[in-house]
A and B are shown apart, each in its own frame.
Chain A
């Protein structure tokens, strides 16, 4: 790699040095030859050398320097442009520059008098003007020749360089022949033969014009026009320099370089040949322009659609773009894209037609059936022939129908129409089908990415709901003398429908409430939030748990979904009277441990929200549970009693009662922990399917001693 870099740098240096040497050598050679030839010409033409000498010598030196400079510029330019590929821009640019400058110079030389008498400048001004003019002609000729060489070398074949060398040699020979023709007889004929040979060599050398074939029709037409202009310019320049009509251009060039006049004519002839060759190639390539244009449009459109898909534009945007592109590529008079769902037909994108028209098309029963029944891309050359009775077929004379699929099911149709019969080629169907396939693939992808976005969004919402739900649970613990309460809630899904809280009744006594909303997830959590508000509002004015539950049911019944209900257990802790008062609205029974043993307490009561106040109030019964210090009341939700193990067996209630019965001098948090440990042991790693809530109420010694230290 390193070697290559060094090599290329050296290559550039060498090129520049070669250019410098080339310029120097050419300048020197031209200078010497020029002085010699001019002096000889003056002698043979019997002009007094002394009279013309200062003017002649000045102009000749200038001319040679300029010529040499042109050659140098040509070489360096070619070296620099060697790596750039030959394109339309190179050729068109060179031809337009050549044609334009040639025509401008011809105009100037025709309008402004040169001030020559018998081909000899009569003043310094005249000499300078003539020389500038001549240098201009020589410059554009050499420039164009360089461009031609550049084009030939840009896409070389095996013999390009050899032919170019041969041609250069021939041109030099022509120059020599022209210069020496006054001296030697018969050199004119030799010159003509040399020129013709050179032309043949050039024609052999001009190959590789395939790049013209793939140009768009616009560029081809422009190239034709430029070739015409350049050809005209070359022809005029050739005639001017080759002719002996004594026109301004011919005279000035004749004066500029003897013999060289013929060289410029020959070079312009070759330029003309090149331009004609390009012209012919372009004309030959014109008939397939349509195909070339279509191919390039196809590729551009498909890459555009692919880009749209990749940038995950919305489905509507994608369908709109595809419809637009289809209409353009197929050169249709209109197009639309329709999709179908349970609600019927939707016109997603319409190009050059109104969406109302699409509806009217589908009102045509036969055409409607035709569009819906196509299961592969289809071309209908003459709709009228197929559906003779259809009114719409008077306008939509030819159709392309491309079905669009989503999840292997028909999702919609891309309809492209023309108002003339046989408005499309089979090729159009192929492109439209490719569009249809791309859209079908994109729709599947869009659905997938939509689904994953939706999952992500739901996950975020769940997290937020979980935080809100956690904030709804009591942050403080219940601290009242004579009672120790602790509770825990473990949601099963991201958010659950379980709820517990500490409340204070109207009489100032504390209470514990535990509830379970039927169902899980966000709806359950929303009901839970509602429930909290209702419970907190009702508790302040409730005389006891039964009263509270009646109020909650009265408030919530009728406003809940029919499929949803809430179960609640509520305990009022009355330490003064050594009583726990329990009311139950369809909830899992409470488990109570007293000195008599462990039992479930299950007073009658229906779930909240399924019946109106009358029935609910009738059914609801409070139960008073007399308690002593050390007694436990355990409130749970059905997530506890229905905790499944891996084999889907529920935890037996006996295990919980045994566990509680065995505890001595328990604290509430220890009770909760033991029950949780029991559940974990039972589940043995199985996932919890319901929220788990446990609240433990442990009656303690009050400061008012009933017994002394045990």
Chain B
């Protein structure tokens, strides 16, 4: 049995990067997400919105990935905001108390708008 997981990133409004995750995020696929985030953040993009709409499952190892980057991103003046979670995925965040650490929004737009405007 193979777990399917994809991660794509694209530029969104307010100089944010929308990182869309899909499928199942577990111990096997966590490294894919880690590599993708590492690349985005390595480019200097620290305003990230993670779109969970297509994510069916998240395990504790998957949650750990966001922990890796959050301090670094915030230190650089950015943030990782989470959006559009399915109820089951949201419950995992909720149970672990991650809502204290991360801002979680019902939609991607709301998450993007939560970032302050930047002078262009």
Contacts and interface: CB of A to CB of B under 8 A. Distances in A.
Given A586-B95, A607-B97, A518 B64 contact: yes
A139 interface: no
Given A518-B61, A518-B64, A619 B100 contact: yes
A689 B26 CA distance: 10
A519 B64 contact: yes
Contact of B101 (A516, A610, A648): A610
A588 interface: yes
Nearest to B88: A650
Interface stretch (B10-18, B44-52, B65-73, B75-83): B65-73
Contacts of A615: 100
Interface in A560-591: 562-565, 567, 586-589
Nearest to B61: A519
Contacts of A562: 64, 67-68, 71
B95 A686 contact: no
Contact of B60 (A567, A604, A687): A567
Interface string A629-645: 00000000010001000
Interface string B6-24: 0000000000000000000
Nearest to A585: B97
A642 B63 CA distance: 16
B1 A686 contact: yes
Contacts of B61: 518-520, 563
A516 to B, nearest CB: 7
B95 A602 contact: yes
A205 B17 CA distance: 96
B114 interface: no
B86 interface: no
Interface of B is mostly: helix
Contacts of B68: 562-563
Nearest to A584: B95
B97 A563 contact: no
B100 A648 contact: no
A611 B100 contact: yes
B96 interface: yes
Contacts of A519: 27, 60-61, 64
Contacts of B65: 563
A602 B27 CA distance: 25
Nearest to A517: B60
Contacts, number: 66
A518 B65 CA distance: 11
Interface string A674-695: 0000000000001101100000
A637 to B, nearest CB: 10
Contact of B96 (A520, A606, A689, A690): A606
B55 to A, nearest CB: 14
A607 B96 contact: yes
A564 B59 CA distance: 12
Nearest to B101: A610
A642 B65 CA distance: 20
Contact of B27 (A520, A586, A606, A686): A520
A516 B60 contact: yes
Most buried by B among A563, A606, A611, A638: A563
Nearest to B69: A562
Contacts of B71: 562
A420 to B, nearest CB: 52
Contacts of B100: 606, 611, 615, 619
Given A586-B97, A610-B97, A690 B64 contact: no
Nearest to A615: B100
A605 interface: yes
Contacts of A690: 59
A622 to B, nearest CB: 15
Contact of A567 (B1, B96, B101): B96
A587 B95 CA distance: 7
Contacts of B60: 516, 518-519, 565, 567, 638
B67 A563 contact: yes
Nearest to A616: B97
B67 A610 contact: yes
Contacts of B67: 562-563, 565, 610
Interface string A597-620: 000001011110011000100010
A689 B57 CA distance: 13
Top 10 A-B residue pairs of the complex, sorted by shortest distance between their CB atoms: A606-B97, A518-B60, A563-B64, A586-B96, A607-B96, A563-B68, A519-B61, A562-B68, A562-B67, A518-B64
Interface of A: 516, 518-520, 562-565, 567, 586-589, 602, 604-607, 610-611, 615, 619, 638, 642, 648, 686-687, 689-690
Interface of B: 1, 26-27, 34, 59-61, 63-65, 67-68, 71, 95-98, 100-101
10 contacts: A518-B59, A518-B60, A586-B96, A588-B95, A606-B96, A606-B97, A610-B101, A615-B100, A619-B100, A686-B1
Given A638-B59, A689-B26, 17 more contacts: A518-B60, A518-B63, A519-B27, A520-B61, A563-B61, A563-B68, A565-B67, A567-B95, A589-B95, A604-B97, A605-B97, A607-B96, A607-B98, A610-B97, A610-B101, A615-B100, A638-B60
